[in-house]
Amino acid sequence: MSDVIQLLPDHVANQIAAGEVVQRPASVVKELMENAIDAEAQTIKLIVKDAGKTLIQVIDDGNGMSPTDARLSFERHATSKIRSAEDLFQLHTKGFRGEALASIAAIAHVELKTKQIGDEVGTALVIEGSEISSQEVVVTPKGTSVSVKNLFFNIPARRNFLKSNSVELRHIIDEFHRVAMAHPGLSFSMYHNGSESFNLPVSNYRQRIVNIFGSKTNEKLVPVTEETEVVNISGFVGKPEFAKKTRGEQYFFVNHRFIKSPYLNHAIGAAFEGLLKQGTHPSYFLYLEVDPQTIDINIHPTKTEIKFDDEHTIYALLRSAVKHSLGQFNIAPVLDFDQDENLQTPYHLRNKPASAPGIEVDRNFNPFREETASRPKQQSSRFSKPAPQQWESLYVGLESKSSESSDNFSEVHFESDPETTSMFDDTQENLNNQSTYQLHNKYIVSPIKSGMLVIDQHRAHQRILYEDYLKNITIKEAVTQQLLFPLTMHFSKQEIAMISQLKEDLEAAGFIFDEVKNETVSVSGVPVGVSESEVSIILEALLRDVENDVPDTHFSAVDLLAKSIAKSLAIKTGQHLQKDEQEHLVNKLFACKEPNVSPTNKPTFITMSVDELDKKFI
């Protein structure tokens, strides 16, 4: 029998490795930017076209490479970061496996230009599908420029799995933020389709966060600092009142490397216990420095998950540090018994001497003695009450006045509602026609011929609003109500970009925008039925839905917009409805095209027949 095990060809092995390293254009951005940081670059520029599908270019002013190193960098397991297995436990660099450039070159067209400091000329390489097509000497600035074009050009199936440009661009921006926040001492800039998206100068941690997420972020940050033998903690957490319903602004950095850790995230949640509304999550930007020997960063292909030697200690220290900061800056409630006594005295009484209160006592008072006319009259005071036998005097003269006034109104007729007879004489028939009942302020119960109908009021109202807004946005006939004063809201640059994309559809839904620029959104008109206080809630919920489920090429942005607005404005569970409101909701629901399900494909009502009820009593 012939041998069946064979070695894979290099180009096949490279494409298999690329499946782990390069999942989407954002993966290429991460690898190239981390290589630039390892090359000791001070300025890093990211250029993206068509969300990275056409071009991803990273330009840095780092150390550069020699012609030999430039060619070797695209070989598998070729790296300058480690020399022996022991070096894996003393890692101070980003990439160390030697797979990134080889994997990228296997599935894209790569152009590399690099020059070392002190050299007069540099090297240019062109690689297509792991094959080096040309290598020549060029004049280029110091540092390295890597251009990745036509990602997945030789793997059409992988290219078809990429999402729409807006989705892929969001992932690229996320990776850009993570690398930029981990290294505030470096200058970063990003360009998409020729326009500048971010320009981040050299700064400290707080300024870098504000430059990325907007100037309004500065007032939301509470500093956190803790130094121990196990870990040094620094960074910021957001104030509880600015907590969001998404986990977007949550960042952990360990030794200047972004990580994801549900365990440490739970420590932050424990520190905020009792300070957050239900369903909201705090923002945090925390930097941890630990001994490289106490962590393992090689447990995940993307190196975003690491293993700590002593997770429990770091958990306790992190929770304690955040809790201490919240209390130190008067964010969390504290008990303070050392108060200034002067604060307890009103200002107009501060310099006034205290006067002894006067006490008046009736020594002849006997509660068991009957009141007599001969009893001496008590000294009147403002607290004295009329004697019990004098209560008749209060009504003297009222009898005559009432008799006089009654003559003037002797012919007063009271208007009463016209009496109507019941349409149904039978009380049971009348009971059956009482159409709806509200149960626990959550469900609407309505009797039907075969049994009863139980409607979820929140989902039912979502379906009604969804179809109304979908119709208004589609035919652009929404009715707008003008605000007396324009409403100004602040968002980050990334959120402003998303609002700009949705602006046309929002205007079709009834919103009127005065301006959408920089970090400010000004709204002067809202759809009818939307209150001014709900505008920010609607826009934040819309941005959250867009981030979690960005409309793809086969998915309508209008549909997502209608769903998001309907979910924000729908009647909430726990809201009491009057009889006419209940009946109106039921009638509107069954006038919809698809009354059976909510916009998220969940049932809006269930039916229970009399037979099913009878079985419950067997």
Q: Quick one: pLDDT at residue 554?
A: 41
β-strand pairing of 187-192 with 43-49: parallel
> Greater confidence, 104 or 343?
104
Q: Could you tell me which residues come within 8 angstroms of residue 58 by beta carbon, excluding any fewer than 6 positions away?
A: 29, 32, 33, 35, 36, 44, 45, 46, 47, 145, 146
pTM, two decimals, is 0.69
Same domain, 61 and 93: yes
CA distance 308 to 261: 11
Q: Is the pLDDT of residue 524 over 60?
A: yes
Same domain, 458 and 586: yes
CATH number for the domain harbouring residue 314: 3.30.230.10
Range in 15-19, 21-25, 264-268, 418-422 the model is least confident about? 418-422
Residue 400: inside a domain: no
Residue 379: inside a domain: no
Residue where one domain finishes, among candidates 200, 227, 250: 200
| Residue 293 DSSP code | G
Q: Quick one: pLDDT at residue 430?
A: 41
Same domain, 31 and 166: yes
CA distance 97 to 86: 14
CA distance 49 to 54: 6
CA distance 615 to 206: 65
Residue 266: inside a domain: yes
Q: Quick one: pLDDT at residue 315?
A: 93
Look at residue 356 and give its three-state secondary structure: coil
Same domain, 226 and 166: no
- Going by pLDDT thresholds of 50, 70 and 90, the confidence category of residue 415 is low
Q: Is the pLDDT of residue 191 over 90?
A: yes
What are the two backbone dihedrals, phi and then psi, of residue 145, each rounded to the nearest 5 degrees?
Answer: -130, 120
Q: Could you tell me which residues come within 8 angstroms of residue 197 by beta carbon, excluding any fewer than 6 positions away?
A: 173, 190, 191, 493, 497
Same domain, 261 and 283: yes
Residue 23: inside a domain: yes
Same domain, 247 and 310: yes
Q: Could you tell me which residues come within 8 angstroms of residue 603 by beta carbon, excluding any fewer than 6 positions away?
A: 456, 459, 596, 597
Same domain, 16 and 100: yes
Domain that holds residue 479: 437-606
CA distance 319 to 232: 13
What whole-number percentage of the chain has pLDDT above 90?
Answer: 29
> CB-based burial of residue 43 (10 Å sphere; 0-12 exposed, 13-18 middle, 19+ buried)?
middle
Residue 319: inside a domain: yes
Asked if 162 and 14 count as a contact pair (C-beta separation under 8 A), the reply is no
Q: Quick one: pLDDT at residue 421?
A: 43
Average pLDDT, rounded, for the chain: 81
Q: Quick one: pLDDT at residue 425?
A: 42
Residue 322: inside a domain: yes
pLDDT digits 0-9 by tens, 545-572: 777 655 444 456 678 778 888 888 888 8
Q: Is the pLDDT of residue 340 over 70?
A: no
Asked if 142 and 64 count as a contact pair (C-beta separation under 8 A), the reply is yes
Q: Which residues pair with 136 in a beta bridge?
A: 124
> CB-based burial of residue 240 (10 Å sphere; 0-12 exposed, 13-18 middle, 19+ buried)?
middle
Q: Quick one: pLDDT at residue 342?
A: 58
pLDDT digits 0-9 by tens, 136-182: 999 999 999 999 999 988 888 888 888 888 888 888 999 999 999 99
Q: Is the pLDDT of residue 96 over 60?
A: no
CATH number for the domain harbouring residue 570: 3.30.1370.100
Q: What is the DSSP string of 118-159?
A: T-SSEEEEEEETTEEEEEEEE---SEEEEEEESTTTT-HHHH
- Going by pLDDT thresholds of 50, 70 and 90, the confidence category of residue 209 is very high
Asked if 539 and 489 count as a contact pair (C-beta separation under 8 A), the reply is yes
> Greater confidence, 100 or 235?
235
End-to-end CA distance of the chain: 71
Residue 580: inside a domain: yes
Q: Could you tell me which residues come within 8 angstroms of residue 293 by beta carbon, excluding any fewer than 6 positions away?
A: 89, 90
CB atoms within 10 A of CB 231: 20
Which amino acid, 257?
Answer: R
What are the two backbone dihedrals, phi and then psi, of residue 387, each rounded to the nearest 5 degrees?
Answer: -60, 150
- Going by pLDDT thresholds of 50, 70 and 90, the confidence category of residue 287 is very high
As for how many domains the chain has, the answer is 3
The residue-averaged pLDDT of 53-60 equals 94
| Residue among 111, 105, 131, 110 at smallest CA distance from 18 | 105
Place of tokens 């981030």: 547
Q: If phi over 0 gives left and psi between -120 and 50 gives alpha, with beta otherwise, what is residue 517? A: beta
Q: Is the pLDDT of residue 233 over 90?
A: yes
Residue where one domain finishes, among candidates 328, 362, 380: 328
Q: Could you tell me which residues come within 8 angstroms of residue 314 by beta carbon, excluding any fewer than 6 positions away?
A: 230, 231, 264, 288, 290, 308
| Residue 604 DSSP code | S
Q: Could you tell me which residues come within 8 angstroms of residue 481 by beta carbon, excluding any fewer than 6 positions away?
A: 525, 526, 527, 528, 530
pLDDT digits 0-9 by tens, 590-618: 999 999 999 888 999 999 999 888 888 88
Q: Is the pLDDT of residue 350 over 90?
A: no
Look at residue 523 and give its three-state secondary structure: strand
> Greater confidence, 112 or 158?
112
β-strand pairing of 307-308 with 232-238: unpaired
CA distance 470 to 510: 12
Q: Quick one: pLDDT at residue 364?
A: 83
Residue where one domain finishes, among candidates 200, 230, 256: 200
Same domain, 318 and 260: yes
Task: State whether the Cα torsion 492-497-500-506 is positive or negative.
Answer: negative
| Residue among 583, 541, 582, 549 at smallest CA distance from 565 | 541
CB atoms within 10 A of CB 416: 6
CATH number for the domain harbouring residue 124: 3.30.565.10
Q: What is the dihedral of CA 226, 227, 230, 235, to 10 degrees?
A: 50
Q: Is the pLDDT of residue 408 over 60?
A: no
Same domain, 319 and 445: no
Give the tokens for residue 107. 């599935």
CA distance 125 to 132: 7
Asked if 238 and 284 count as a contact pair (C-beta separation under 8 A), the reply is yes
Same domain, 181 and 314: no
| Residue among 217, 222, 225 at smallest CA distance from 248 | 217
Q: Which residues pair with 339 in a beta bridge?
A: none
- Going by pLDDT thresholds of 50, 70 and 90, the confidence category of residue 428 is very low
Residue 390: inside a domain: no
Give the tokens for residue 206. 């707080």
- Going by pLDDT thresholds of 50, 70 and 90, the confidence category of residue 28 is very high
- Going by pLDDT thresholds of 50, 70 and 90, the confidence category of residue 541 is confident
What whole-number percentage of the chain has pLDDT above 70?
Answer: 78
Q: Quick one: pLDDT at residue 515?
A: 85
Q: Which residues pair with 9 in a beta bridge?
A: none
Residues in the chain: 618
Q: Quick one: pLDDT at residue 359?
A: 82
Q: Quick one: pLDDT at residue 303?
A: 67
Element (H, E) at 512: strand 512-517
- Going by pLDDT thresholds of 50, 70 and 90, the confidence category of residue 411 is low
Same domain, 29 and 170: yes
Range in 38-52, 357-371, 419-433 the model is least confident about? 419-433
Same domain, 452 and 591: yes
Element (H, E) at 18: helix 10-21
Q: Is the pLDDT of residue 205 over 90?
A: yes
Q: What is the DSSP string of 154-215?
A: T-HHHHHT---HHHHHHHHHHHHHHHHHH-TTSEEEEEETTEEEEEE-S--HHHHHHHHH-G
